[in-house]
Structure 1
Amino acid sequence: MSLPLLTFVVIIYLSIVGWLTVKAYKGTVSTADYMVAGRQIHPFVMAMSYGATFISTSAIVGFGGAAAVFGMSLLWLTVLTIFVGVFVAFVFFGRRTRVMGLNLNAHTFPEFIGLRFQSRTLQGLAGLLIFVAMPLYASVVLMGGAKFIAQILSVNYNAALFFLTVIVAVYVVMGGLKGVMYTDAFQGSVMFAGMLILLFFTYWKMGGVIDAHQKLTDMADIAVSIFGAQGHTGWTSFPTLGSPFWVTVVTTMVMGVGIGVLAQPQLIVRFMTVKSNRELNRAVLIGGVFVLVAVGVAFIVGALSNVYFYYMNPETAGKISLVAANKNVEEIIPLYISKAMPQWFTAIFTITMLSAAMSTLSSQFHAMGTSLGRDIYEKWLRKSGNSVLITKAGIIFTIMLSYFFAWGLPLFFDGGTAIIARGTAIFFGICAAAFLPLYFGAIYSRRITKFAAFTGFTAGTIISFFWLFFVHDKVSGPMMICKAVFGVNSLAEGTIWAAVDPLVIGLPVSALITLATAFAGKQLPKEHVEKCFHGIGK
């Protein structure tokens, strides 16, 4: 790796990020500017910010590495994220959220929920869940970026982690959501170009699209000999129905992220940053194309890396990607880039990875900071103070917390666990179980009560955490809480339920309870409901 070339590229990149941050800082004069970007964001900026926030190093490094293990079956996640995460989200959720958020003058997702149901407690609890659970997601994104930097530069992981955290912290604290979205748009553009170039070079190196996929298909016997007991049938086919691999791919990877995206607080708030539904309509195509490239390429390249390591790289001949990376899933993509790609591209892709990490992390830190500062401290606890200043303090605190998790997680989970991909899917699943039923009810039902929203939220949250700590063995085992209480790693040990994602249990239960109690409790005032829905459908 040419350090002078990399240094030159990074300096230019950080200079542009710095300029955009200063520009946003100068244009941030109000709470609305800091929290919802003044509600005047251009559709291109909104779409790219949404996509860049959604697609992070967890998608490229984490899920790309997971694709090297599970194969191209993960491409179903690409299909689901485009249809659900972009089309359904923008058209069926985004339009109503934008109008209702403006009617209520909401600045955050928990505030949106709290104002809709006239409940400071619900706003505070939603903010608390974000503050407690999102550091897990932020930490695995930090891990992905730091692992890539450490591999490419041959530096210590902890040093790379510290470097990445400090850079993101500076521009998030300064620019607010305006700074986040401006830099997201730039970073998303870099990611889009970098992923396209990566796909081109991968196919070129492997003799073209047809030859590359045929070689991978011909490796099916190798996959079955290694992972066959868990249901693997080859890197270009789906795992055996009902097998542990099938359960993981379908419930954790595909459903966990593909459905959970609808209830992501840091994404929902972006619907409230544009001035009209026309901007949302224009953003659908941009967001769909971006997700197709950013997610699809990572899964294709991850799976095809097996061809490179097994047949094309003399150092790893006869080894699949997982073995070549010393059974560390998160090391597969960084290792492939450093070994298979030319030096000049490695420098470019380093910027791609920085963009992927920084764009998502900035939004996460902003969401966690506003949850702590505005939703919990100012609204739930009714403490007075400067909202922006308190939010900045919250951002700094959550950055430190996420950094601590990113440092500690590798110590508890072995490299073959796919920490980054699973951590992402787990957070998405928790949000879906806790938020999605009440969020859907909030924007579509005029009669849903505060009681129904609260019971659905509570049920989804409790069930998700119980399933994580006591049933889902990939988490309950390393956490050792179940072991300490019941003497086993999982209450479902030895059964297929131990591999089932919490989303599969938590979301249906939350939805059923919300529906069953939809009309229970005191109805909200008619004039308030009419205010919420004013202008929706126009």
Structure 2
Amino acid sequence: MFSIILLCVFFAFMIGVGVWGMRRTSSLNDFFLGGRSIGPWVSAVAYGTTYFSAVLFIGFAGKLGWAYGLDALWIAGGNAVFGSLAAWLVLGRRTRRMTKNLDVMTMPEFLQERYDGKYLKIISALIIFVFLIPYSASVFKGLGYLFEANFHISYDTALLIMIGITGLYLVLGGYFAIAFTDFIQGIIMVGGSILMVCLLVQKGGGLTEVLATIPVRHALHVPAAKQPGTLLLCALVFMTSFGVWGLPQMVQKFYAIKNESLITKAALATCLFALIIGFAAYFTGSMTHLFYDAPPMTSSGAPDFDRLIPDMLKTYLPEALMAVILVLVLSASMSTLSSLVLVSASAVAIDLYKGHINPGVSSRKSVALIRILSALFIVFSFVIARYDFDIIITLMSLSWGAVAGAFMAPYIYGLFWKGATKAAVKAGMAVGLGTNIVLFFVLGPAKSPIAASAAMILPFAVIPLVSLFTRPPRQDIIAQAFGRNATGRAL
């Protein structure tokens, strides 16, 4: 009963913030970027809550905590230092300044204006649409299973509740609603994560006992011959830490912060948030060795890692705290979902329709269109989550590496190097996307982090090489992008 009451209060609050955000939204810039007026603490938590979702808390942390034991904490450290702190410090200031100089709001718009490439926007928008919508569906699936297990309602009903609430607050309030609900959700996530770890450690006999026991039981449960290799662990750290440097839904947070002087504060706050949440998730995953001798099995006899952490929490946590944990996971997931849907809708409304089909469309009509598309994409995600199409499952597995592989190098070179050419960027995007897809099928889904890491790295070699032999960029575009420093000192 407490869980249902807490959930109803949470949903009512979310809808209320959506209505509040709608009153503050009058232009496309307001809806997509919050008018570039978001403060450092809200921006930091919005970044963090978009970073972590049900995919982390339900499946990822359970599977990797079981496979690697305490070594899974290397991933949490990498996410905090490289995926959060370094991302803000290295990319934040230049992204905020350059996107304002070029008057752009999305990753596809940035690539088109920065490299003077008419079709870069279309190609980029299609990549976002194809790979991020299935990714959002995977988040819906994780939430659906969690609610089915804990509230004893059908999977379909759980999905319908999720799309209804996410759709309402996103379609009504846009980025204002996302950012400020993220802030409240982030507070819930931090408090719930700390309580969860403390109680589980207590159940395990105290911190000293837990830290001593996990390696011993991990070695018994996963013999050395069956443990994943160090290369795969390094690839996981790299993919999950640096991959966010090229994901549109993460980069958007740099565009929207109020001013550059707040970036250092946002960087430190995001790092602390990621350290707490990442540590809590992966440490909880490693603690499954204390309470289980083997993971649960599916009907086909395969390990069901998605059930490992939910079953453990349901068994060992009191009902009141379990309700808080449910809201924690829901908070993380709805934040990720809303950012994914908003970026996907913008790819069509801003990058395709406004950018190519009807450039003269009014701001009011553009806001209406992106609201409609957000609702449609949420429904589309529900359909994907409800029916396990083979091609969609493959796209889900490919999504992170495909998007980061295509965008990371063009985006970073665009911020820091004036010599990158349009032809080189197209080649880099093709190599990144192609490498991820080919290696995914050659190595297999279990080694997809290696494929994704290679896809992110190779374009950094391809772009400067191709730039040596292709037409240099126009100097007027370089001057506009880099501002007054185009022919002098760097930004």
- TM-score norm. by structure 2 comes to 0.92
Q: Does 1:440 align with 2:412?
A: yes
Q: Does 1:301 align with 2:284?
A: yes
Query: Per-residue CA shift, 1:320-344, capped at 9, x if unaligned?
Result: 2345997211111111111110011
SS in 2 for 1:258: helix
In the alignment, which residue of structure 2 is the partner of 1:250?
234
1:392 and 2:371 aligned: yes
Residue in 1 aligned with 2:294?
Answer: 320
| C-alpha distance after superposition, 1:444-468 (max 9, x if no partner) | 0112111111111122112222333
Runs of 4+ with >6 A deviation: 422-425
For 1:20-31, list aligned pairs within 5 A.
Answer: 20-31=17-28
Instruction: Give the Cα separation in 2 of the matches to 1:157 and 1:502.
Output: 32
Is the contact between residue 201 and residue 341 of structure 1 (CA under 8 Å) also seen in structure 2?
Answer: yes
1:368 maps onto 2:344 in alignment: yes
1:52 maps to 2:52 = no
Out of 134, 137, 151, the position equivalent to 2:135 is 137
Matched letter for residue 82 of structure 2? V
1:142–1:161 CA contact under 8 A, matched in 2: yes
* Gaps in structure 2 of 5+ consecutive residues: none
Following superposition, the deviation at residue 102 of structure 1 comes to 0.7
- The one-letter code matched in structure 2 to 1:512 is A
Contact persistence 1:62–1:329 (CA under 8 A): yes
Q: State the partner residue of 2:479.
A: 530
Deviations 1:386-431 (A, max 9, x none): 222222232223222322222234x759xxxxx8xx9877422222
- The AA in structure 1 aligned to 2:59 is G
Matched with 1:76 is: 74
What code does the residue aligned with 2:467 have? Answer: A
Structure 2 residue aligned with 1:401: 380
The offset of 1:216, in angstroms, is 1.7
- In structure 2, the CA distance between the partners of 1:359 and 1:499, relative to structure 1 (3 Å rule), is closer
| Aligned equivalent of 1:43, options 40, 59, 80 | 40
How many pairs align? Answer: 480
How many angstroms apart in 2 are the aligned matches of 1:368 and 1:8? 33
Note if contact 2:58-2:142 (Cα within 8 Å) is conserved in structure 1.
yes
Provide, for residues 85-112 of structure 1, a one-character-per-residue CA deviation record: whole Å limited to 9, x for no partner: 1122111111100000111111112111
- Offset from partner CA, 1:60-117 (integer Å, 9 cap, x none): 1122211342122221111211121112211111110000011111111211111111
What do residues 208-239 of structure 1 show as CA deviations (whole Å, max 9, x unaligned)?
111112222221442245xx443x2xxxxxx5
Aligned position for 1:494: none
Q: CA deviation at 1:26?
A: 0.2
Residue 81 of structure 1 aligns with an amino acid whose one-letter code is N
Cα distance in 1, alignment partners of residues 369 and 231 from structure 2: 43
- Tell me how far 1:126 sits from its aligned partner: 0.8
**What is the one-letter code of the residue matched to 1:34?**
F
Structure of greater relative contact order (alpha carbons < 8 Å, 6+ residues apart): 2
SS at match of 2:20: helix
Given residue 270 of structure 1, which amino acid in structure 2 is its aligned partner?
K
Displacement of 1:49 after TM fit?
0.3
SS of the residue 2:119 aligns to? helix
One-letter amino acid of the counterpart of residue 31, structure 1: L
| CA displacement at 1:153 relative to structure 2 | 1.2
1:14-44 deviation line (CA, Å, top 9, x unaligned): 2221222111110001111011110110111
Q: Partner residue of 2:110?
A: 112
Q: Which amino acid aligns with 2:294?
A: I
Gaps of 5+ in 1: 233-238, 310-318, 414-418, 476-497
One-letter code aligned to 1:260: G
* C-alpha RMSD over aligned residues: 2.3
Partner of 2:467: 518
Equivalent in 123, 135, 138 of residue 125 of structure 1: 123
Alpha-carbon distance change, 256 to 53 in structure 1, aligned in 2, over 3 angstroms:
same
Report the TM-score, using the length of structure 1 for normalisation. 0.84
Quote the sequence identity (%): 23
Could you tell me whether the CA contact under 8 Å between 1:472 and 1:500 is conserved in 2? no
Which stretch shifts more, 378-387 or 25-34?
378-387
Alignment of 1:275-294 (within 5 A): 275-294=258-277
Which residue identity is paired with 2:13?
I
1:506 aligns with one of 437, 452, 455: 455
Contact 1:82–1:292 at 8 Å: present in 2 too?
A: yes
- For 2:382, the aligned partner's letter is Y
- Counterpart check, 1:359 vs 2:335: yes
The residue number in structure 1 matching 2:425 is 453
Cα contact 1:100–1:532 (8 A) shared by 2 = yes
Question: Aligned to 2:287, what secondary structure does the other structure show?
Answer: helix
Distance 1:466 1:201, change over 3 A: same
Corresponding position of 1:471: 442
- Which residue is equivalent to 1:273? 256
Q: Following the alignment from structure 1 to structure 2, what is the Cα–Cα distance between the partners of residues 533 and 509?
A: 26
Q: CA deviation digits over 1:266-287, x for unaligned, max 9?
A: 1101111123211111111110
Which of 372-381 and 268-277 deviates more?
372-381
Distance in 2, Cα, partners of 1:64 & 1:534: 43
For 1:35 and 1:84, how far apart are their aligned partners in 2? 26
Distance in 2, matches of 1:532 and 1:105, equals 10
Shift of 1:362: 0.5
* Aligned counterparts of 1:460 and 1:110: Cα–Cα separation in 2: 16
